[in-house]
Amino acid sequence: MFERSVIIVAGGSGSRMNSSLPKQFLPLAGLPILMHSVNVFRRFDRSISIVIALPEQFITQWRELCLKHQFIEKHLITPGGITRFHSVNNALVMVPDHGFVAIHDAVRPLVSVETIHTAFLEAEHYGNAIPCLQVNESVRRVEGEMNFPVPRNSLKLIQTPQVFRTALIKKAYALADRHDYTDDATVLEATGEKIHLVKGNVENIKITHPFDLLLAETLLKEMLPSGS
């Protein structure tokens, strides 16, 4: 059995959600989104190590939320950096060098246990596993004033958790010569590793707009009829 960790990146400031709360703290079925994300990794593996990367100014508020909701799942907190890259880089320090690490967006609380399971399993074989979905709509590429059709069958929408052999992603972050990456797979790829895609789950939406929160509420009711 390999050692497993997850870094949950909770860097949002809430600007697109018309809310003073950062989006990772917005309530979803009564519980902050971030707690749902922690819970699903805990359901996947009772002993997984959880590291949350959170902007420094929200850490006190998070501790208060944990008290309020009697949220006792064990986790470490690391202050987020000025970009997503810096946040993940800070969090990787807290993860043991051996084993495997998932890097997950806090605002994807509806990832399924099955997606997490598949990603760890395939990463153990291929060194990395990146969940993705088909594109269901026609796609065009805009280039200046022009735009062109793109064959949609060749495109995949990328999700998280992205799972890596910890030593490989640590090395990739150490070697990176740019800090504007928004996607961990691309950081790894820069070291010459081949990216291994696996199937994500369609409910695993990224909560970006108020619309998404509404959708997540509905999906959560369907996915967890018992209410937790």
Contacts with a copy of itself by CB under 8 A lie at 130, 132, 135-143, 146-147, 149-150, 154-159, 182-183, 185-186, 189, 194-195, 197, 202-203, 206, 208-209, 211, 214-215, 217-219, 222
- Which tokens belong to 145? 């004033």
Residue whose CB is less far from a copy of itself, 69 or 140: 140
CA angle, corner 28, sides to 183 and 80, nearest 5?
40
Q: How far is the CB of 76 from a copy of itself (least distance, A)?
A: 26
**CA nearest to 174, candidates 190, 160, 158:** 190
Residue whose CB is less far from a copy of itself, 42 or 152: 152
Residue whose CB is less far from a copy of itself, 18 or 138: 138
User: What are the beta bridge partners of residue 148?
Assistant: 141
Q: How far is the CB of 53 from a copy of itself (least distance, A)?
A: 18
Q: How far is the CB of 159 from a copy of itself (least distance, A)?
A: 7
User: What are the beta bridge partners of residue 9?
Assistant: 53, 105
Other CB atoms closer than 10 Å to residue 15's CB: what's the count? 9
Residue 170's identity, in one-letter code, is: K
- Burial (Cβ within 10 Å: 0-12, 13-18, ≥19) of residue 120: buried
- Which tokens belong to 227? 């209410």
Residue whose CB is less far from a copy of itself, 4 or 108: 108
Q: How far is the CB of 190 from a copy of itself (least distance, A)?
A: 10
